[in-house]
Structure 1
Amino acid sequence: MPVDWEPVRQSRTHELVLRSIEQRVFAGDLKVGDRLPPERELAPVLGVSRSALREALRVLETIGVLVAQPGRGPDAGARIVRNPDDALGRLLRLHFALGSYSLGDMLEARVVLERSSFEAAALHAEPADLDEAEELVARMGAPDIGVPEFNDLDTRFHVRIARSSGNALTSTLTSAVRESVRPLILRALEAEPDWPATAAALNADHADLLRLVRAGDGARAADLVETHIRGLHGTLVDEPFTDA
């Protein structure tokens, strides 16, 4: 059924456009996959300029609920999507960089989220999810692996387990928190005097975590992941880094 668009007031125009679109989403008039009318049609219906409409659409794209494709054709235009991971990660990274949250805050958030994730994964993870996690562990175990690749695979391992927990919100928050501290963890790993030994020790934890999840031992997995996180991440709290 066509959406019945209405004009919005002119003060703080782009925010009012956002509110109008949000109201359509809340009412169920706009759903994932729906396309907005072209700018040339939607702007006059809302009673706003096309520049104000574009500003509102850029905000929606930034927060991960809209994708705008320029040009003409069936894929052109703005489409409602569901992509919270990148948006929340970007937002959290910025606020962390601005000092809204301390390293201690991030550490405690990681502990709470990942204890929950690993405990739930022991109950709900599908074999395919754990097979993928095992591949990541195997790749982290390569004798010549460098720090950046290890850090990337490490992030993916923790996020993969969170996604296998059956709780989409926990997965998204775990990804956002882990991504926000990725640069600091990278620098901490690069500063390790014996990188091969550090990589082997960290990955031994990963292998043990995966074994406990496969065995359905969520309580021990939760305890181990807390120890694992507090090990390296805890040193960052004790010796905070600043951006150069």
Structure 2
Amino acid sequence: MASVPDVEDAAGDLWLPVRKARAHELVIEVIEDRILSGVLKVGDALPPERELAANLEVSRAGVREAVRVLESQGVLRSQPGAGAAAGTFVAALPREALTRFLRLHVALSNFTIHDVTEARIVLERASAASAARDLHSAARAEIEAALAAGEAAIGARGAFNEADTRFHLAIADASGSGLSAALTGAIREAVRVPLLHAIERNADWGDQSALLQREHRAIAEAIFDGDAERAASLTEAHIRRATSVLFEA
């Protein structure tokens, strides 16, 4: 395995050569190392492709492939053209990219529903409590919109499932933690299909969806009242009961 240049190199020696192996993987490793060490920050430009390839002693194709991979992950962004605005820059990692990455790994790892439920409880209890402590008007409006979508979808299956997801993500967003929101979204997306299949199998869905919606309203009221402990407790009870009804019946 090829080594990566030392993080402690002076700024002028930022792009030292690496021993040749799989070129694009080495370039990725160097760029990731510089980001993790704080040498590269959001908005910083990478050297031009030709210069970076020469400095690292790899092919331009290897640099190009590394940039393509990191762009797909939301780590880099490329701006075509000429002048100072053109080039390849370190980007703030979009939540959509992180969510896509996580949901695939959650799905491929084949976690049990119990595992998913326990993870959801940890995340969503914290999100509900944080939202209750410091709820901004825009976050409240999104929670209310999600509640309205749920009311309109009671008895429906796919539509209520979408509204249910929107409600839980609205609370995660309201927590103020982008990472919690991304993790919550990834978990919800990973179980979206089995959850919908469980809903479709439920013969008493009309009553169940109405009960789920009442629980949503109770959670929202606790958040709006600023009662963090009640919001967290109601969220846990809601997740456990829904899981028991849909997956363990």
- Corresponding position of 1:187: 197
CA distance change for structure 1 residues 66 and 236 in 2, over 3 Å: closer, same or farther?
Answer: farther
The alpha-carbon deviation at position 77 of structure 1 amounts to 4.5
Letter in 2 for 1:180: A
| Inter-CA distance 68–200: structure 2 relative to 1 (3 Å threshold) | farther
Alpha-carbon offset, residue 117 of structure 1: 1.0
The counterpart of 1:22, out of the listed 26, 32, 55, is: 32
Q: Distance between the aligned counterparts of 2:108 and 2:35, measured in 1?
A: 31
Q: 1:95 to 1:122 in 2, by over 3 A?
A: same
Deviation (angstroms), 1:203: 1.6
The structural deviation recorded for 1:76 is 5.8
Partner of 1:238: 248
Q: Which moved more, 1:107-116 or 1:20-29?
A: 20-29
Q: Per the alignment, do residues 159 and 190 of structure 1 end up closer, same or farther by CA in structure 2, a change over 3 Å counting?
A: same
RMSD, aligned α-carbons:
2.8
2:156 touches 2:206 (CA, 8 Å); kept in 1?
Answer: no
| Paired position in structure 1 for 2:211 | 201
Q: 1:27 to 1:143 in 2, by over 3 A?
A: closer
Could you tell me how far apart the structure 2 residues matched to 1:76 and 1:187 are? 47
Number of aligned positions between the proteins: 238
Q: Are 1:158 and 2:157 an aligned pair?
A: no
Q: Which amino acid aligns with 1:192?
A: N
Aligned to 1:242: none
Q: Assess if the C-alpha contact under 8 Å between 2:17 and 2:56 holds in 1.
A: yes
**Equivalent pair of 2:153/2:163 in contact (CA under 8 Å):** no
Over 3 Å counting, the alpha-carbon distance change for 1:237 and 1:196 in structure 2 is closer
**Shift of residue 122 of structure 1?**
0.9
- Supply the AA of the counterpart residue of 1:148: G
Q: Is the 8 A contact 2:146 2:170 kept in 1?
A: no
Contact 1:96 1:102 in 2 (8 A): no
TM-score by length of 2: 0.81
| Residues in 2 aligned to 1:73 and 1:203: alpha-carbon distance in whole angstroms | 54
TM-score (norm 1): 0.83
Structure 1 position 167 matched with structure 2 position 177: yes
Moved more, 33-42 or 224-233: 33-42
- Cα distance change, pair 236–97 in 1 and its aligned pair in 2 (3 A): farther
- How is 1:58-97 mapped onto 2 (pairs within 5 angstroms)? 58-68=68-78, 71-72=80-81, 77-83=87-93, 85-97=95-107
- Identical positions, percent: 45
Per-residue CA deviation, residues 53-96 of structure 1 (Å, 9 max, x unaligned), is: 23322332343322345x54577643322235333333333233
Indicate the SS of the match to 1:79. strand
Q: Which runs of 5+ in 1 are unaligned?
A: 240-244
Aligned amino acid, residue 223 of structure 2:
V
Alignment-derived partner of residue 8 in structure 1: 18
In 1, the alpha carbon distance for the partners of 2:86 and 2:160 equals 38
Segments of structure 2 that go 5 or more residues without pairing to the other structure are 1-10
Match 1:56 to one of 66, 69, 84: 66
8 Å CA contact 2:78–2:87 kept in 1: the answer is yes
- Quick one: distance in 1 between partners of 2:179 and 2:13? 29
Mapped to 2, the partners of 1:99 and 1:26 lie a distance apart of 26
Corresponding residue for 1:45? Answer: 55
Render the CA deviation track for 1:127-159: whole Å, top value 9, x for unaligned. 221121101111221157843333223222212
Kindly provide the amino acid, as one letter, of the partner of residue 66 in structure 1.
L
**Which letter maps to 1:238?**
E
Flag the structure with larger Rg: 2
State how far apart, in whole Å, the 1-side matches of 2:61 and 2:141 are.
48
Q: What is the letter of the counterpart of residue 73 of structure 2?
A: I
